[in-house]
Amino acid sequence: MRPLRALLLVVFPLALGGCDPIETGLIDLTVVSLSAAGEAQPVTGAHCTLSEGGAEDPESVEVEALETDAEGRVRFTGAQVGVHTVRCRHEADGAPLAGMVEVEVPREAGRPGWVEAELSVAPLRAPMSVEASARPGAVRVTWTPPGELTVLGYRIRTLPEGEAFEVGPDQLALDITELKPGTRYTFAVAARTPFGLGPEAQTQEVRVPTVPGSPVIRSAVPREGGVWLEWEAPEDDGGSPIVAYHVVSKPESTPATVEASVTRFEVRGLTPGTPYQFTVIAENAVGLGAPSEPSEEITPGPGTDEPAPLPDEEG
């Protein structure tokens, strides 16, 4: 019996060693998309990556990348025991689809741990409520997140072919400066997700404000010691509302400033018998525009005490 007992002592440790858990595993994944009727359809050619760790793990490391077959299936063989994250993305007629799932590879004795999983892909959505508002020297772009999707950050592009900016996931507005006054711009915003960059949403076209155009003097009528002056607002306010007009006379006198709603003004304190010319300058938030063409020479003196009628009021 001693030889048999010795044999059992040798074999038993070997048997124990063969039952030790294996540290590697397999993940069989099926990627599907839901039809309008809610039916799961396999996705062929989806690009899928396997990462160690959970979806929120900042130290997650990609270990394998594969594409799904004709049945929407893919097998990862490089998984270790533990939690993993699979991310899949598919371009479908220019509309990217993406999805993510966490899977846990079990520790099993005698063979690699094995797990099955299904991952649904859905459209990657663009940020919502994307708007742009211009102010002197800058444009503010605002947006809201693209639904419930996990967002890692946002990219904002100046169109066409302008500078791109990257901001964090909690920032929902960006002031873009150093833009050319008077130039029209459009901006595109995309969310950066665990699946890559999503589709862009564009703002309306906005114009960076510049100084206003020139007013047009319609009439200048002399009166005792002054002149009644009337003008039209500039055709172009520069993209910013006019805040005031400045009336300048030549020979030099103190310029008069009037409110933006005023386009008819009596210039007083002029020297009778001296010919004058007048120009009008519009001002907005950016600054002063170019002066109007000068009026004809007008000599203050005897004249009407009432404003001259507008051309469309005559006759």
- Do 137 and 55 belong together in one domain? no
Question: Mean pLDDT throughout 25-34?
Answer: 91
- The CATH number for 37's domain is 2.60.40.10
- Do 139 and 162 belong together in one domain? yes
Residue 235 domain flag: yes
- Do 135 and 116 belong together in one domain? no
Choose the final residue of a domain: 207, 232, 258: 207
Residue 134 domain flag: yes
The yes-or-no verdict on residue 146 having pLDDT over 80 is yes
Question: Mean pLDDT throughout 118-140?
Answer: 91
Inter-residue contact 123 to 146 (CB < 8 Å): no
Give the domain range for residue 72.
Answer: 22-123
**Over the stretch 163-214, which tens digit does the pLDDT of each residue have?**
899 999 999 999 999 899 999 999 999 999 887 788 899 999 999 999 999 9
- Do 222 and 292 belong together in one domain? yes
The yes-or-no verdict on residue 243 having pLDDT over 90 is yes
**Over the stretch 99-125, which tens digit does the pLDDT of each residue have?**
889 999 998 877 888 999 999 888 888
Q: What pLDDT shows up at residue 206?
A: 95
Look at the chain and count its residues. Answer: 315
Residue 2 domain flag: no
> What is the number of domains present in the chain?
3
Inter-residue contact 115 to 28 (CB < 8 Å): yes
- Do 159 and 225 belong together in one domain? no
Residue 112 domain flag: yes
Question: Mean pLDDT throughout 269-288?
Answer: 93
Choose the final residue of a domain: 100, 123, 146: 123
Residue 4 domain flag: no
Query: Which residues, including other chains, have CB under 8 Å from residue 88's CB and lie 6 or more apart?
Result: 29, 31, 43, 46, 47, 48, 49, 68, 98, 99, 100, 119, 121, 195
Residue 219 structure tokens: 């009439």
- Do 194 and 222 belong together in one domain? no
